[in-house]
Structure 1
Amino acid sequence: MSKDLMPVSSDNRDSKGLVPRWQEPFRPQFHFSPAKNWINDPNGLVYFKGEYHLFFQYNPYGKEWGHMSWGHAVSTDLVHWRELPVAIPETDHMIFSGCALVDWRNVSGLGVEEEPPLLAFFTAFDEAADRQTQHIAYSHDCGRTWMPYEGNPVIDLNKDHFRDPQVFWYEPDSHWVMVVALPQDHKIQVYNSPNLLNWTLQSEFGPFGNTGGQWECPNLCEVPVDGHDHTRWVLKIDVDKNLIGEGSGAQYFVGDFDGKSFSHQADTDGPVARLVDVGADFYAAITWSDLPSKHDSPVWIGWMSNHQSGKETPTDPWRGAMTVPRELFLWLERGAYILGQRPVPELETLRKQCRRHSDVQLSSGDVFELGDLAPNGAAEVQFELKGCEKGQAGLALTDDKGDQVLIAFDGNKGEVFIDRRLVGAAFHEAYPAKHSCPVREQGSIRFRILVDASSIELFVEDGRYVITDAHFLKANKRLGLFAKDCDAAWSDLSVYELASIHQG
């Protein structure tokens, strides 16, 4: 059998029941997904020698969670990804989440001659001993192969839950910083090191905010404030359940960092924890290290799935995908710093044909058909919505079975939402759900919607509000505008067909 053909049930299968790879049902067309098998957290994001590296939690043996190793893909533009062989395989321990960086000055001594090494920091899970410790591996060939550090583990607290290190350079005090989670204690530890090998505990953060599940995958970074010439520090912490409904999600705190401890922004009720993304399918995002100077803001990517239904998504021969890479920014609302996310501008290179409408006005009960999606199911929709002082108005994505997902504004509640409840049989009880967030802007609201074969990413008001949800609508999908119990107007409406990153 050709490696480019897969035995998958599909409307576009050939006479032998085979469908070309990358055209399977629900296959993402402009998001990274592995050719086959299970994927979850992004790991080891680093830029080195012209390549953006994306490592990720990966099961080389099937599309269920297990045998955790680091898969690997590279890109020169954050859009088109080339999957490489497994980078760090499971040995006598699983390779859990972590980070990677360039040791430019070879302070670790793990480099060769004048060539700086890549260092990966990850949690090693010894299943037999039920212990999680922090390990290092290093690479001399641009991340293709890795060698374990002989002094592993570099941190061992004799704990069964102690994971997900992030390491970065703190320039003001010229030392390295590690943040790492104590998941069941709902704490984030901060360590310092002069050489990336020897680590000293400096402080702990937490428990604050949501503690309904385990804390995981901390990410601490300095983020610029839109319209101002200063920055603040953002600490993102994932929670594996009971955050978005009963499912997983990400919360964040804004504050200050002195290289040793993080102090959060607080109000009269205590620490302020906010949601990074109010959709069901955004988790474990981490930022790239060593970005080139053209990036003015941190850039991260997340696992576009969740811990509630992610193990049952109806995809084959893979399971799981990443979000689009997103730039981070802060904006001020009533004196509070709020985290925003924008798709990286490189994604605009995928735009193809565009259908434009300068002005569409609908009364209650009206619909306006925008036409069918391209066969690959990939599109970008932008518009400005006015009116809708009550009721609902927005965009409907519908398949040939009549199942729908609504992406819209609710004037009664003053919130934007993605509603997946208008479906027939669902693969999981958590799938038919509505995810929403209040918006400050009411008179005119700007939508940017990225639709892929099995996902929707909604960015409102240039990324001030973000909702990410998977969808599993069937074939022959089409777009339309609707107004319910209101009059509404759409202006500056653009519908772009997006090219597949798998072509060429």
Structure 2
Amino acid sequence: MNAKVICLLQIQSPHPQHHTMLTADSRGDIATERVRESPTPHFFNHTLNASAFDFYDNKARSKSKNPSQTRPAFDRWRPKFHLMAPHGWMNDPCALGYNEATGTYHAGFQWNPKGYEWGNMSWGCASSNDLLHWNVQKTPSMEPDRAHGEEGVFTGSMLPTNPNGEKDGSLTAFFTSARYLPLHYTLPYTLGTESIHMAKSTDGGRSWTRYEHNPIVSLPPKEHSVLGWRDPFITRWKEADFILGKTSPSLYGLVAGSIRGKTPTVFLYEINPIRLIEWAYIGTLSDLGMNFNPSAWTGDYGQNFETANLISLADSKGKRHNIMTLGVEGCLKPRPKERSEVIDDHSQMWLCGQLKPSSNGVDLGFKFGGIVDHGCYYAMASFPDPITGEQVAFGWVLEEDLSPDLTARQKWSGCLSIPRVLRLVELHSVTKALKTDVGKITSIQATPTENDTFSILTFCAVPDPRLQNLRSSQYSLQPRVFTSRAPDQVELLNGCDTWEMKMSLKVGSATRCGFEIDFSQDYRETARIYFEPGNEMLYVDRSASTSYPGINRLPERAPHTLFTFLDSCNNTEELETLDFHVYYDCSVLEIFVNGRTAITTRVYPTSNTSFGVRPFVESTYAEGERSELVSFNLWELDSAGCIS
């Protein structure tokens, strides 16, 4: 073995953003290497001695005291506090809800228990008392009924009642039964390939008994030639009751899909609340047209909808706003060709619409809308939580950046996101955005007010506050003005697989600002998450996040801006801070910025862990206001885990 001893020393250089690494092999030969451009490592302020140096090669690394480096493939990048199947492929969350009879939350998910690739679509089952600690069943709760021609149990929703609408402790689920595969909006559609079925559970969702007279809706509306018609979502909707002249509350079913050559759409049904097998077609909602794209702030609504959910949220004045969330297929967005088809032309979107009567019954016209999450997040499903009074959502976090070979080795693919709450965001006394005219940002509703300001309304999906119950050790950095000296850093010397971080920055005259995550102790593997004010754009740079072959490291990006507010008392204006809220779980990063923008992404570090988080600012400092670190807190998280 010709091992190298690595010594990291600070050497005076005309380029302080670089440092030099001295290496000495076992024969005593010395060489120098220039490490990639980065802020000066945090430990240059400390004294190192020879006892701190370790051998650095593939064999020596396996002897590290960090147990994450010796994990088997199944555990190497497996998240710890995200809800997951016991093994195999998983995708859409489904049958979400709270069972008041047992005081437990129920989460289903599409699952292939027989392999790590899509296929044999069944339902998995998990239950929890707090949305954090999950009991995951080892066997499917429902599998394809191939004796009757069913090839897959697709996504659906759940009501915590029996089929007669009575709360007796049982659960009723509605789902798409798929018969002819493959099924895709670009392929010819065979009538009968999708139908709506009903099932009942008397054991908390651990098993489902199909209704003996399924399907309850056998075909799409006959007046439409469809390319998709699936994923039933059941909800109450007071505004629709009023417009349709209902004298008592009804139930409504939303089925996502598209009309051939015309538009993606949602098919609306009325459901008898005391006889759930009775569905009556009303009409279509939100016929936007093909690839409707108001601006880059909103995005492309594609050619086919999936997993449509509808939520009615009240603003601070009590006015209700109708929000529809949509999984979108067929987006014409500029994606690098190296990304997978699912990431390339899919997007998790939302729109706020004005409900009004139409010849079809009701129409939810587009007012404003955008992308829920700009990363590898899709098929969001939600449910009303009677404990908190809020709408709670989960999404599918994809595994598409891992090569098939690596996925085969770990024998699983995908997980569900952290629980998120769906809310309206209200901002008042806004004078301007960084660059774009406020009135041209189509992901917000900007209402002019007095003093030439705006009141802004938008929609967000932010971390459920109950996630704070996972916090353990806390690390903080003191507020300070950024200068050219080496930045401060939170050190995680023994590695940390799971953490939460909140950071606020005053952007000042920065051209780029954010933070770096160190995935190796020698600073070779990092991810950079940053905002460029001049471009009004967020970036996740994963290019140096791993040295493992077979992993896609292309960047993520999302449009984002900061608003300036008027202080009418002092007649002054102030730019809001840049606020990051981040969850890291082994290979999953969920990033939330200013409570308005989200990016979920995957990182697969060679070390399988992280060793530090470092804020940074890039600026000429030649003119303008200096940037400031306002606050920084990081918590190690107790791994809630999934018990199966």
TM-score bucket (shorter structure) = 0.7 to 0.9
Within the alignment, does 1:219 sit opposite 2:277 as a pair? no
What CA distance in whole angstroms lies between the structure 1 residues aligned with 2:258 and 2:405?
26
Structure 1 consecutive aligned stretches of length 4 or more whose deviation exceeds 6 Å: 17-23, 426-429
Contact 2:228/2:304, CA 8 A, preserved across alignment: no
What CA distance in whole angstroms lies between the structure 2 residues aligned with 1:448 and 1:34?
26
Aligned position for 1:151: 213
What CA distance in whole angstroms lies between the structure 1 residues aligned with 2:486 and 2:256?
51
Contact 1:382/1:447, CA 8 A, preserved across alignment: yes
Counterpart pick for 1:421 among 538, 543, 546: 543
Aligned position for 1:187: 265
Aligned position for 2:597: 465
Distance 1:384 1:41, change over 3 A: same
Aligned position for 1:126: 179
Contact 2:547/2:606, CA 8 A, preserved across alignment: no
What CA distance in whole angstroms lies between the structure 2 residues aligned with 1:150 and 1:503?
33
Contact 1:123/1:164, CA 8 A, preserved across alignment: yes
- 1:397 CA displacement: 1.0
Of 389-398 and 94-103, more deviation after overlay is shown by 389-398
Contact 2:254/2:308, CA 8 A, preserved across alignment: yes
Contact 1:366/1:482, CA 8 A, preserved across alignment: no
What CA distance in whole angstroms lies between the structure 2 residues aligned with 1:177 and 1:232?
17
- 1:303 CA displacement: 0.5
Distance 1:55 1:295, change over 3 A: same
- 1:241 CA displacement: 4.7
Counterpart pick for 2:288 among 199, 202, 207: 207
Distance 1:39 1:23, change over 3 A: closer
Of 63-72 and 26-35, more deviation after overlay is shown by 26-35
What CA distance in whole angstroms lies between the structure 2 residues aligned with 1:243 and 1:136?
35
What CA distance in whole angstroms lies between the structure 1 residues aligned with 2:175 and 2:136?
20
What CA distance in whole angstroms lies between the structure 1 residues aligned with 2:277 and 2:642?
43
Aligned position for 2:327: 238
> What code does the residue aligned with 1:319 have?
S
Counterpart pick for 2:371 among 270, 275, 278: 275
Contact 1:42/1:303, CA 8 A, preserved across alignment: yes
SS in 1 for 2:415: coil
Distance 1:313 1:378, change over 3 A: farther
SS in 2 for 1:212: coil
Distance 1:175 1:353, change over 3 A: same
Q: Map of 1:25-424 to 2, 5 A cutoff?
A: 25-48=76-99, 49-84=102-137, 85-92=139-146, 93=150, 94-103=152-161, 106-107=163-164, 115=168, 117-127=170-180, 131-157=193-219, 161-170=228-237, 172=241, 173=246, 174-183=249-258, 185=260, 186-194=264-272, 195-205=275-285, 206-208=287-289, 209=292, 210-225=300-315, 227-242=316-331, 245=335, 246-257=344-355, 261-266=362-367, 272-278=368-374, 280-289=375-384, 291-292=385-386, 294-305=387-398, 309=401, 312=404, 314-315=406-407, 316-332=410-426, 333-335=445-447, 337-364=457-484, 366-372=486-492, 375-400=495-520, 402-423=524-545
Distance 1:448 1:63, change over 3 A: same
- 1:492 CA displacement: 2.0
Aligned position for 1:3: none
SS in 2 for 1:190: strand
> What code does the residue aligned with 2:420 have?
R
> What code does the residue aligned with 2:123 have?
W
- 1:390 CA displacement: 3.3
Distance 1:161 1:391, change over 3 A: same
> What code does the residue aligned with 1:298 have?
Q
Q: TM (normalized to structure 2)?
A: 0.68
SS in 2 for 1:86: coil
Task: Give the percent of matched residue pairs that are identical in Structure 1 and Structure 2.
Answer: 23
What CA distance in whole angstroms lies between the structure 2 residues aligned with 1:417 and 1:148?
46
Larger radius of gyration: 2
Within the alignment, does 1:450 sit opposite 2:583 as a pair? yes
Aligned position for 1:499: 638
Distance 1:160 1:492, change over 3 A: closer
What CA distance in whole angstroms lies between the structure 1 residues aligned with 2:405 and 2:619?
34
Contact 1:131/1:160, CA 8 A, preserved across alignment: no
> What code does the residue aligned with 2:89 have?
W
Distance 1:47 1:212, change over 3 A: same
> What code does the residue aligned with 1:474 have?
T
> What code does the residue aligned with 2:278 have?
N
- 1:125 CA displacement: 0.5
Contact 1:314/1:427, CA 8 A, preserved across alignment: no
Aligned position for 2:439: none
Contact 2:313/2:321, CA 8 A, preserved across alignment: yes
SS in 2 for 1:87: coil
Q: TM (normalized to structure 1)?
A: 0.86
Mind listing any 5+ residue stretches in structure 2 that lack a counterpart?
Answer: 1-60, 182-189, 221-225, 293-299, 336-343, 427-444, 448-455, 564-574, 621-625
Of 396-405 and 59-68, more deviation after overlay is shown by 396-405
What CA distance in whole angstroms lies between the structure 2 residues aligned with 1:423 and 1:452?
15
- 1:317-374 CA-partner distances (Å, limit 9, x unpaired): 3210111111111124523641112211111011011111221333357433221276
- 1:497 CA displacement: 0.7
What CA distance in whole angstroms lies between the structure 2 residues aligned with 1:79 and 1:28?
13
Higher percent of residues as helix: 2
Contact 1:370/1:481, CA 8 A, preserved across alignment: no
What CA distance in whole angstroms lies between the structure 2 residues aligned with 1:456 and 1:439?
21
Contact 1:374/1:497, CA 8 A, preserved across alignment: no
Mind listing any 5+ residue stretches in structure 1 that lack a counterpart?
Answer: 1-9, 267-271
Contact 1:243/1:249, CA 8 A, preserved across alignment: no
- 1:164 CA displacement: 0.6
Of 178-187 and 363-372, more deviation after overlay is shown by 363-372
Distance 1:417 1:88, change over 3 A: same
Aligned position for 2:75: 24
What CA distance in whole angstroms lies between the structure 2 residues aligned with 1:482 and 1:471?
20
Distance 1:360 1:216, change over 3 A: same
Distance 1:63 1:341, change over 3 A: same
> What code does the residue aligned with 2:371 have?
L
- 1:74 CA displacement: 0.8
- 1:372-427 CA-partner distances (Å, limit 9, x unpaired): 27645111111210134232111101222723221222132233332223446676
What CA distance in whole angstroms lies between the structure 2 residues aligned with 1:211 and 1:384?
32
